[in-house]
Amino acid sequence: METGEKKTNIFVAEFKSVSRGIMVTDSMVKSAEVNIVQASSLCPGKYLTILEGKISALTSAGKIAEELGGRHLFSSFTVSGIDQRIIEAIGGDLAEASGDAIGIIEGPHMADLINSSDIALDSAEIDFLEYRLARGCGVNSFFIITGVLSAVNEAVGNASRFLGERGSLIAYRILPAPDRQVMKWMKSSLCKC
């Protein structure tokens, strides 16, 4: 992990309608100085938009989401001061497994999971192998980290403690020295659906 990592802000909106989600996302991007981190359909029939930018721009985007999303806006939240590497992981910029250890953390609430991943990065020198926000896995979200065993233990411990305190922890596991075959099949099963 590099020192002085860049911090950023995101706005997340989840819509109960794919068509409404696309329309509102287009309006948010046209009227606020934001960048799309992710904009995609979720299972089943929902739409997720994650925007990055200054808090003032994200606040404007949030107002548009509320006004135009109406009853189709399922949830929305802003997270400030998170590590830029989380944005990269959500966007698919992921590391290769180090072979020493992996940690898996699952939760049902995207805001809490994003915050817990920021805590994990602040805790130890780890990288993301996967970062999935309610896409292709029903309502649950998860992330998988890799690093030396002591770092993975520290990061998973702190992230899972945070989720547990918020009632947002489904499960967590640490695999020291995962077998090559398990890693091969795990990687092939992590589709981008």
Quote the tokens at residue 142: 């998860």
Q: Which residues of 11-24 are buried (b: 16+ CB within 10 A; e: fewer)?
A: bbbbbbbeebbbbb
Residue 190, pLDDT score: 53
Q: What's the rounded Cα separation, in Å, for the pair 15 and 75?
A: 7
95 DSSP assignment: P
The more confidently predicted of residues 132 and 21 is 21
Residue 108 placed within a domain: yes
Of 33, 60, 85, which residue constitutes the final position of a domain? 85
* DSSP-based helix, strand, coil % in the chain, nearest 5: 40, 35, 25
Domain extent at residue 53: 7-85
125 DSSP assignment: S
Sole residue written with tokens 């997720």: 48
My answer on whether 103 and 161 are in the same domain is: yes
My answer on whether 20 and 72 are in the same domain is: yes
Contact 10, 51 (CB under 8 A): yes
Q: What is the pLDDT of residues 37-74, one digit of tens each?
A: 999 887 777 898 999 999 999 999 999 999 999 999 98
Quote the tokens at residue 156: 């998973």
pLDDT exceeds cutoff 60 at 4: no
Of 29, 62, 85, which residue constitutes the final position of a domain? 85
Provide the whole-model pTM: 0.82
Cα dihedral across residues 181, 97, 175, 112: positive or negative: negative
Q: What is the pLDDT of residues 72-90, one digit of tens each?
A: 998 888 989 999 999 999 8
Bond before 44 cis per omega within 30 degrees: yes
My answer on whether 35 and 118 are in the same domain is: no
Contact 54, 43 (CB under 8 A): no
My answer on whether 108 and 51 are in the same domain is: no
My answer on whether 74 and 160 are in the same domain is: no
pLDDT exceeds cutoff 50 at 2: no
Sole residue written with tokens 């949830």: 75
Q: How many domains does the chain have?
A: 2
My answer on whether 79 and 98 are in the same domain is: no
Residue 139, pLDDT score: 62
CATH of the domain at 29: 3.30.70.1710
End-to-end CA distance of the chain: 29
Residue 188, pLDDT score: 47
Q: With residue 130 as reference, give the H or E element that holds it.
A: strand 127-132
Quote the tokens at residue 131: 């970062």
Radius of gyration of the chain (CA): 17
Q: What is the pLDDT of residues 82-136, one digit of tens each?
A: 999 999 998 888 888 766 899 999 998 888 899 999 999 999 999 999 898 876 5
Quote the tokens at residue 2: 């590099």
